[in-house]
Amino acid sequence: MRGLVLTDQQAKDFFITGGTNDFSSFVNRIQQQPGSEVKFLGTVNGRPFEAKVEPGEVKVQGLNLSQADFDTLVKQLQGQSTREFKVQAVVDGKTVIAKFENGQLRIRADNAGRDKSRVERNDRSGRSDRSDRPDRVERTDRPDRSDRVERTERADRVERLDRSGRH
């Protein structure tokens, strides 16, 4: 389905709140139909969102949720027969990504996107961020490589004589 236009409350009602036509029951029905795939594309309060459901996999991104709503959605998806899922949402002003793969749930929160988290990860490992590095490292001059042996040209292809007796 394309072009869905939802409010935050409508999105919450569909993706979080239990009922007969909520996202969790919808996922359950799709999981039981091999070869089926359903996509929801649209906006929630003007921000784009996407939900993709196919047997064994679920992907949801673009929702704006509270921490409790995010936790509820993740628990609902864990309770389904999904092999893996990914939920990316803005939770209380932070981008939060929950991935469930190989029986393990990983949740990562980013304040300002991927670059920021990479810098924070480097700081924790003892390395510094790139701000204290010099812009360009001077290269030392290499000696001329005149000592190299030049290759000789390849001989042209030798024509084979036709010995078949046919002239």
Per-residue pLDDT at 26 exceeds 60: yes
Closest CA to 58 of 95, 21, 28, 13: 28
Nearest-10 crossing angle of helices 67-79, 23-31 = 20
Q: pTM, whole model, 2 decimals?
A: 0.61
| Phi/psi-derived region of residue 3, left when phi > 0, alpha when psi is between -120 and 50, beta in every other case | left
Instruction: Read off the pLDDT band of 105 (50, 70, 90).
Output: very high
Sequence-ordered list of residues with C-beta below 8 angstroms from that of 90, at least 6 positions apart, any chain: 63, 64, 65, 96
Kindly state the DSSP code that residue 155 receives in the 8-state scheme.
P
Per-residue pLDDT at 117 exceeds 60: no
pLDDT of residue 113: 46
pLDDT of residue 17: 73
- Most confident among 31-35, 45-49, 145-149 (mean pLDDT): 45-49
CB-facing half-sphere around the CA of 125: CA atoms within 13 A: 9
Burial 40-61 (b: 16+ CB within 10 A, else e): bebebeeeebebebbbebbbbb
Per-residue pLDDT at 14 exceeds 70: yes
pLDDT of residue 145: 57
Name the 3-class secondary structure at 88: strand
pLDDT digits (tens, 9 = 90+) for 58-68: 999 999 989 99
pLDDT of residue 61: 93
Pairwise pLDDT comparison (160 vs 14), residue with the higher score:
14
Per-residue pLDDT at 83 exceeds 60: yes
pLDDT of residue 125: 46
Per-residue pLDDT at 167 exceeds 60: no
pLDDT of residue 86: 94
